[in-house]
Amino acid sequence: MESVQRIRYPPFDHSNVDPASLPITEVVVSSNSSPPTPFRIGSEDGWLVEWRNTKPGDEDLPRINSVTTTATLPFLMRTRNGWYINPDPLHAVARRLIAPTVVLLIVSLFLHAIAPALSGIPIISWLTQGSYKIGPLDYPKLLFISFPIFVLPIIIRMIANSRDISRQNAYIANPIDDPEISFTTGDGWLEVQSIDLPEGVVTEGFHLQAGVAIPERKTMLRALDRPEGGQPPPGMSTELPDKRISSGDEHGTGVGEATPLPVEHARVLLLEPLRVRALGPYVHSGAEFPLRLEGPEQRWPGTIYSSVIAFHWEIHVHAEWNGTSVRWVKPVIMPQTDEPVIIDELPLRGARSEDAKD
């Protein structure tokens, strides 16, 4: 059966990109499976994900063959299934300090440049005039104040990375068993009947999440009639030659730092956020079972995967293990809606795991 898929997926640094300047990728998809209930999330001049029936005028669109399934795609099972270590909170602190420390350094250089005009101001003139000699060079006084503050985010980041690596190595040395969980799914909600966590793991809360995964690069290239190794689709990178460890690298958007430093392991232990995702309400662990988890406030389409559009649902179990903040993630097969879904704005979230608030 044939259907039309249209997508303008946000790149890594989507906050600095005008979506209207990027083309919408449109294809006619042929599949042996029936298409889902039509849906559109986003707008024509913004970020967009749309899956609809064919109509007159679609004859000139590129045609591709793609599997349409509700079974979770292999790359999502490799990268979004199991236990993950939450990045150290110091990463977010370091990133927030970057802008003010750069401003401080620029102001310091400016004050040093106009130092003669500040000679009448008591404290500022003492800071901006004169220098300290270290070896053969003289260094301005103000530099000894501003430069240590300027490098503070780098030092904090190094500390956070070393702590993340230590926690990942601790997990590799003593992996956590998957919990035994029993749940049922409904129309945009999930009910947990019971959960049995491994010893030493303390539950903190739960939430249900829906999102759109990154399109497959090869399919996007075919849709745009571009060769592999040539100009990549908008917002995507060329194929990476080294080992690929994240969903972004695997499907062609290996640009930007989505996660802190991962260690060498069979699977990545730091969860890469979905750029397009909507969260259900957070439910604290004190609630009694059966525990009902609601989906996003606006009803989203059910689980459906193709090489262009991949609507993905998953449950997150937030917990603490040996003083480390962790989460267990499991894909969920959510049934399709009876009526078409229309949402005017595609919900975007931070692409960096340390900035994620969920």
Tell me which residue has tokens 């917990």: 319
Mean pLDDT of 331-336: 94
Return the minimum-mean-pLDDT range out of 112-116, 297-301, 343-347: 112-116
Mean pLDDT of 282-298: 90
User: Which region holds residue 242: left if phi is over 0, alpha if psi is between -120 and 50, else beta?
Assistant: beta
Q: What predicted TM-score, i.e. pTM, was given to this entire model?
A: 0.85
248 or 281, higher pLDDT: 281
pLDDT bracket for residue 151 (50, 70, 90)? very high
> Which pLDDT score is estimated for 250?
45
Which are the contacts of 16, defined by CB distance < 8 A and separation ≥ 6?
A: none
Bond before 11 cis per omega within 30 degrees: no
Q: Which helix (H) or strand (E) holds 85?
A: strand 82-85
CB atoms within 10 A of CB 320: 14
> Which pLDDT score is estimated for 121?
76
Residues in the chain: 358
> Which pLDDT score is estimated for 272?
87
Residue 338 in this model has a pLDDT that exceeds 50: yes
Alpha-carbon gap, residue 343 to 313, rounded angstroms: 17
First to last CA, the chain: 38
pLDDT bracket for residue 356 (50, 70, 90)? low
Residue 255 in this model has a pLDDT that exceeds 70: no
Alpha-carbon gap, residue 230 to 242, rounded angstroms: 18
Return the minimum-mean-pLDDT range out of 165-174, 233-242, 338-347: 233-242
Compute the half-sphere exposure of residue 92: CA atoms within 13 Å on the CB side of its CA: 12
Please state, for a pLDDT cut of 70, what percent of the chain lies above it.
Answer: 92
In contact, 94 and 260? CB cutoff 8 Å: no
Dihedral sign of CA atoms 267, 272, 275, 276 in order? positive
What CA–CA distances, in Å, run from 303 to 61, 125, 202?
A: 25, 66, 30
Burial class of residue 29, CB neighbours in 10 A (0-12, 13-18, 19+): buried
13: its two tokens? 């640094």
> Which pLDDT score is estimated for 266?
78
> Which pLDDT score is estimated for 245?
41
Residue range 13-62, pLDDT digits in tens: 888 889 998 889 999 999 888 889 999 999 999 999 999 999 898 888 98
338: its two tokens? 């009876």
Burial class of residue 293, CB neighbours in 10 A (0-12, 13-18, 19+): buried
Within its chain, how far is the Cα of 198 from the centroid? Answer: 27
What's the order of all strands across the beta sheet hosting 39-42?
63-65, 25-30, 2-8, 48-52, 39-42, 341-343
> Which pLDDT score is estimated for 247?
43
CB atoms within 10 A of CB 329: 17
